[in-house]
């Protein structure tokens, strides 16, 4: 029987990456459960056993893993301190100057629109001014949000900012999305201060959506741009996709990005474009697609693995799918440890790891069978 770990055809650094990734994920869960001493105890036991057995290479890997664990600890501690900072601006009427990052509409249940704002200034007559950029989730009636679009700069008067009162799942979601506070706008005055701040990618996105018919637009937005709007047209499309059994294809995921990249590479191949320029153009198109769409966890995973594959092809490096997946996991967990606590991250990376394992297991068995048939009896 072929050993489990040899089926992946690891390159040496992959073992270290897997150890660092496992340590980072374990540290995140331990800190979430307020059991940081368990991680310290495990590092101490592993270090003592490695020294006694004279496995000094394991000690070096353990030190590297502990550095990633420390980075996770400081990252979580910093995000919590940032979240709980500037409490004097909460539950007080403030003037908020911000830029609209995202807009999402729900016309069915509450007839509301949700805006994600990036503040440039928060002012209160007694607390002073807060110039540090903060991300705020703003909810308002959909009718009032019709004139508001992504990229616009706005000023909100008498805004009442708030945070969850208890440590619950909603607070974890805000920490993951790096949202500092929420607010609901009913009758507060909203002034559009700058319409020209819309980026070139946002303008292209808006022009593309406006060129489509209403039904086509509600199909295009979730499938290609990752935007989900609850309206009668979108619900109709969801029911039709459920009826035909294609609902899972209507949710934008990493497979859509991989398919699009494969189509581009196939076109460049038949166009006889040189390999170097082929990958440069492909990477540029992927980043442009990333800029005009909302990036989900699976989308970021697929984009990162595609970029690693492009780099390996351009420099003639050996590409390993499990190596790329592990490096992507380590990068995303180090960048935002709160990802680990949510099901989309767990399913995306878990299912991808299982698919890679099954592929390599099948391929290894095929190679082993062919090798046995070539041996003369």
Query: In angstroms, rounded to a whole number, what is the distance separating the alpha carbons of residues 208 and 216?
Result: 11
pLDDT at 1: 40
pTM: 0.73
Same domain, 34 and 91: no
Query: In angstroms, rounded to a whole number, what is the distance separating the alpha carbons of residues 347 and 233?
Result: 29
Q: Which residue has the tokens 């076109």?
A: 267
**Phi and psi at residue 100, to the nearest 5°:** -80, 120
How high is the mean pLDDT of the chain?
Answer: 78
pLDDT at 320: 81
Asked if 127 contacts 91 with a C-beta cutoff of 8 angstroms, the reply is no
Structure tokens of 326?
């592990």
Asked if 330 contacts 69 with a C-beta cutoff of 8 angstroms, the reply is no
The string of pLDDT tens digits covering residues 172-199 is 888 888 899 999 888 778 888 876 555 6
pLDDT at 173: 86
> Does residue 108 carry a pLDDT above 70?
no
**With 0-12 CB in 10 A as exposed, 13-18 as middle and 19+ as buried, what is 82?**
middle
pLDDT at 197: 57
Identify whether 118 is part of a domain. Answer: yes
Domain boundary among 83, 103, 132: 83
Asked if 95 contacts 155 with a C-beta cutoff of 8 angstroms, the reply is yes
Q: How confident is the model at residue 234 (pLDDT cuts 50, 70, 90)?
A: low
Angle subtended by helix axes 254-270 and 297-314, to nearest 10: 30
Query: In angstroms, rounded to a whole number, what is the distance separating the alpha carbons of residues 9 and 4?
Result: 10
Identify whether 263 is part of a domain. Answer: no
Plot region of 151 (φ>0 → left; ψ -120 to 50 → alpha; else → beta): left
Query: In angstroms, rounded to a whole number, what is the distance separating the alpha carbons of residues 350 and 18?
Result: 14
Residue-range definition of the domain harbouring residue 224: 201-249
Same domain, 130 and 224: no
Same domain, 131 and 29: no
Identify whether 22 is part of a domain. Answer: yes
Asked if 31 contacts 75 with a C-beta cutoff of 8 angstroms, the reply is no
Same domain, 76 and 98: no
Query: In angstroms, rounded to a whole number, what is the distance separating the alpha carbons of residues 44 and 31?
Result: 17
Q: How far is CA 62 from the centre of its chain?
A: 28
pLDDT at 279: 86
Query: In angstroms, rounded to a whole number, what is the distance separating the alpha carbons of residues 3 and 276?
Result: 37
Identify whether 173 is part of a domain. Answer: yes
Q: In 3-state terms, what secondary structure has residue 156?
A: strand
pLDDT at 258: 82
Same domain, 173 and 224: no
pLDDT at 240: 59
Which range of 56-60, 194-198, 269-273 scores highest in mean pLDDT? It is 269-273
Same domain, 120 and 188: yes
Identify whether 186 is part of a domain. Answer: yes
Same domain, 99 and 179: yes
> Does residue 364 carry a pLDDT above 80?
no
Query: In angstroms, rounded to a whole number, what is the distance separating the alpha carbons of residues 161 and 210?
Result: 33
Q: In 3-state terms, what secondary structure has residue 107?
A: coil
Dump strand ranges (E) for the chain.
93-106, 112-124, 128-130, 135-141, 153-160, 181-184, 190-194
pLDDT at 85: 84
Identify whether 105 is part of a domain. Answer: yes
Domain boundary among 38, 65, 83: 83
Same domain, 123 and 30: no
Domain boundary among 41, 68, 83: 83
Report the domain count for the chain: 3
Which carries the bigger pLDDT value, residue 56 or residue 341? 341
Q: How confident is the model at residue 63 (pLDDT cuts 50, 70, 90)?
A: confident
Same domain, 76 and 92: no
Same domain, 123 and 69: no
Same domain, 96 and 107: yes
Same domain, 108 and 171: yes
**Phi and psi at residue 35, to the nearest 5°:** -125, 50
Identify whether 110 is part of a domain. Answer: yes
pLDDT at 324: 87
CATH number of the domain where residue 104 is located: 2.40.50.120
Identify whether 117 is part of a domain. Answer: yes
Query: In angstroms, rounded to a whole number, what is the distance separating the alpha carbons of residues 338 and 342?
Result: 8
pLDDT at 147: 82
């Amino acid at each position: 029987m072929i050993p489990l770990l040899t089926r992946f055809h690891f390159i040496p650094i992959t073992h270290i990456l897997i150890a660092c990734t496992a340590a980072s994920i374990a540290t995140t869960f331990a800190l979430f459960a307020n059991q940081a001493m368990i991680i310290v105890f495990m590092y101490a036991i592993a270090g003592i056993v490695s020294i006694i057995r004279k496995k000094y290479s394991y000690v070096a890997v353990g030190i590297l893993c502990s550095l990633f664990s420390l980075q996770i600890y400081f990252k979580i501690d910093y995000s919590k301190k940032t979240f709980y900072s500037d409490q004097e601006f909460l539950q007080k009427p403030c003037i908020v100057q911000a830029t609209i990052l995202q807009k999402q509409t729900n016309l069915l249940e509450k007839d509301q629109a949700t805006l994600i704002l990036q503040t440039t200034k928060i002012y209160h007559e007694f607390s002073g001014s807060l110039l540090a950029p903060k991300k705020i989730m703003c909810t308002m009636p959909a009718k009032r949000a019709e004139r508001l679009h992504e990229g616009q700069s706005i000023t909100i008067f008498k805004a009442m900012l708030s945070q969850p009162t208890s440590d619950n799942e909603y607070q974890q979601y805000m920490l993951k999305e790096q949202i500092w506070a929420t607010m609901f706008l009913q009758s507060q005055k909203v002034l559009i201060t700058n319409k020209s701040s819309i980026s070139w990618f946002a303008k292209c996105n808006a022009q593309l959506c406006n060129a489509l018919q209403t039904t086509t637009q509600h199909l295009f937005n979730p499938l290609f741009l990752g935007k989900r709007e609850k309206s009668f047209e979108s619900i109709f499309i969801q029911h039709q996709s459920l009826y035909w059994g294609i609902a899972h294809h209507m949710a934008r995921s990493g497979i859509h990005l991989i398919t699009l990249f494969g189509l581009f590479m196939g076109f460049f191949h038949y166009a006889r474009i040189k390999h170097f320029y082929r990958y440069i153009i492909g990477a540029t198109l992927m980043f442009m697609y990333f800029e005009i769409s909302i990036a989900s966890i699976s989308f970021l995973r697929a984009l990162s693995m595609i970029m690693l594959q492009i780099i390996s092809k351009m420099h003639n490096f050996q590409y390993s799918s499990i190596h790329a997946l592990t490096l992507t996991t380590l990068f995303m967990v180090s960048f935002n440890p709160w990802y680990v606590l949510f099901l989309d991250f767990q399913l995306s990376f878990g299912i991808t790891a299982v698919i890679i394992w099954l592929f390599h297991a099948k391929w290894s068995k095929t190679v082993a069978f062919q090798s046995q048939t070539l041996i003369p009896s």
